[in-house]
Amino acid sequence: MKQFTSIIDVSDLNQLVESAVYFKNDPLVEPDLGKGKTLGLIFFNPSLRTRLSTQKAALNLGLSCMVMNFVSEGWQLETEEGVIMSGEKAEHIVEAAGVIGQYCDILGIRAFASFTDQEKDYKEEVLNSFIKYSKIPVVSLESATLHPLQSLADLVTIEEYKKKEKPKVVLSWAPHPRILPQSVANSFAQWMRQANVDLVITHPPGYELNTKFTKGAKIIYDQEKAFEQANFIYVKNWSSYEPYGQLLSQDPGWKITASKMGLTNNAYFMHCLPVRRNVIVDDEVLDGEASLVIPQAANRVYAAQAVLKSLLTTNF
């Protein structure tokens, strides 16, 4: 694998999942694979799981890791071409990425959507500039439109807990007080369409995601109907795609409750975290036996290890 920015970069999905399971069985099975190599992790947004799990994955592979929070520690970056840089922005992404490419062998980038310009966000301007100017393999740590490391861990978790060959997986929107990215939901839909699952998406009208990612998935606007016979309930809030980045509803009727979970076929509850307790989901569900949020987060390490191994063995 040359880079890891979406499922499109993955040539053999089953093999990648198997590789994550292989590392889960023995995280230190390849302790020297990354010896002498450096992974740089650059964050333009907050992170807990992505930052620590990717760092842990690097440690398990003997890969050195440098982490930088660009918002608090870096120069303000200019991303436009041809501008006269007489304002606040001290450094251009061309030089910043070029320099990082000199110090690192693999680069992870987290850069959320701006919400100001749908076209720019969906063209992945920041991520693509880092790919172009760093000239080293890049891993998305959640970009403007996708979160593939999360989706791989989600798929590994579903494979681990499924009780039937082709489980019914429901991606459900839930209310949130802020405007959140579409990345986790886009990415989950994109990965589930390639997996052996029956995918249903449920959200209030107006929250349709970009069909590039959801094409072919069943959309049911009645959440309770969507939950019938479900084996996994995957919950996430996202802001609207069209009109872009809006908060159209905060309807508490979409919150995940124990009685709604009771409509499913004993479904597991999944969420990528961080989660707003009693806004997205009731304590009772999150603290209940069917909640997979902690094992799901644990699998982030092995997903990252599988991805880093693939990059290390293909590019060097």
- Contact residues toward ligand SN0 (CB under 6 A) are 178, 180-181, 183-184, 272, 274, 276
Q: Which long-range contacts (CB under 8 A, 24 or more apart) does 49-54 make?
A: 49/272, 49/273, 49/297, 49/300, 50/110, 50/141, 50/142, 50/149, 50/150, 50/300, 51/141, 53/149, 53/297, 53/300, 53/301, 53/303, 53/304, 54/108, 54/139, 54/141, 54/149, 54/300, 54/304
DSSP letters, 106-127, are EEEEE----SS-HHHHHTTHHH
> Min. distance of Cβ 280 from ligand SN0 in angstroms?
8
Q: Which is nearer to ligand SN0, 189 or 272 (CB)?
A: 272
> Min. distance of Cβ 184 from ligand SN0 in angstroms?
5
Q: Which two tokens stand for residue 221?
A: 């606007």
> Min. distance of Cβ 265 from ligand SN0 in angstroms?
27
Q: How far apart are CA 127 and CA 130, in angstroms?
A: 5
Q: Which is nearer to ligand SN0, 127 or 184 (CB)?
A: 184
Q: Which is nearer to ligand SN0, 46 or 206 (CB)?
A: 46
Q: Which is nearer to ligand SN0, 43 or 133 (CB)?
A: 43
> Min. distance of Cβ 150 from ligand SN0 in angstroms?
6
Task: Identify the bridge partners of residue 77 per DSSP, sorted by sequence position.
Answer: 91
Q: Which is nearer to ligand SN0, 101 or 181 (CB)?
A: 181
> Min. distance of Cβ 176 from ligand SN0 in angstroms?
6
Q: Which is nearer to ligand SN0, 134 or 151 (CB)?
A: 151
Q: How far apart are CA 80 and CA 172, in angstroms?
A: 36
> Min. distance of Cβ 50 from ligand SN0 in angstroms?
7
